[in-house]
Amino acid sequence: MSLTTITGGAGFIGSNLARRVQANEPVRVLDDLSSGYRSNLQSLDVEFAEVDVEKDDLPSRLNGCSRLFHLAASVGNKRAIDHPIRDSQVNVIGTLNVLEGARQNEVGTVVISSSAGIFGELKTLPIREDHPVDPDSPYGVSKLAEEKHGLVYAKLYDMDVVALRYFNVYGPNQRYDAYGNVIPIFVFQMLEGKPITIFGDGEQTRDFVNVSDVVDANIAASEIYGLSGAFNIGSGTRITVNDLARMLHEILDIPWNVEYGPPRPGDVRDSLADIAAAQEAFGFDPKVEMYEGLVEYVAWAKTVVDA
């Protein structure tokens, strides 16, 4: 029987992917729990090992694996600016360690989590895969290196490697992190009665994609034999940060206060994915509407705050 391995499988996206995959086949989760949570794997039938992809012996951890999803990462522009060496240690050296482990174990398919952060400030909208890459932070640089290493391995060795360039992913299991996505930051601050801070004028736009759609993309991309390349994974829609805050206020229906601060280094003004290539290559079709996804996320966040 085939075995799927997920690095970073106790994290936000990885645990949602593990939940979906384990319903149909054995899953091995590798995670150092630096940002993942064992509680994300509760009730799941998965094999778990506490593993640091940067330092540990990956070849021995990938024995018997036929499909590998690589989600272990240091995530975010602000975190990378504050800790640039750590960012590349995890995202570049860690990815090379994973790829070497996959090569030595003859893993047929590797799906790598990349980021829209590789593009930097945008020249055109929507963003196609051939948009110039000019990262504005060490995170974008490390993610670009990560996907380039993966695609080189696809050329050199007998493996399919797909790099999925995530835009702003949100959904259940995404906890508050000051370095993280604006949605959990806003939601958890609102639930705790704290003012939210919008950096800049709030009219900057973001393409938010629900984690359920991202899981669909990972699975679909892994099932196309002979597919290698880089693909945008977003919703194909965008919303201003101001409108996002108003939408969350409507859903939460609690008093709130907004403060505005200066724009943050490394943040782009606008973002919107062109997802036509992913649609054509593996049928990617995002289904979760923004309001519906936020209602689900708020309901999950309340269980964390009340715990």
* Catalytic center residues: 139
Cα–Cα distances (Å) from 109 to 123, 131, 149, 156, in that order, read: 33, 26, 15, 14
CB 270 within 8 A of CB 204: yes
241-252 vs 290-306: helix axis angle to the nearest 10? 60
Dihedral of CA atoms 250, 251, 256, 261 in degrees, nearest 10, equals -90
CB 262 within 8 A of CB 200: yes
Q: Quick one: tokens of 48?
A: 């778990």
Indicate the helix (H) or strand (E) that contains 141. Answer: helix 138-156
Cβ partners under 8 Å of residue 32, min gap 6: 50, 51, 52, 53, 72
- DSSP label at 273? B
Q: Cα 197 to chain center, whole Å?
A: 23
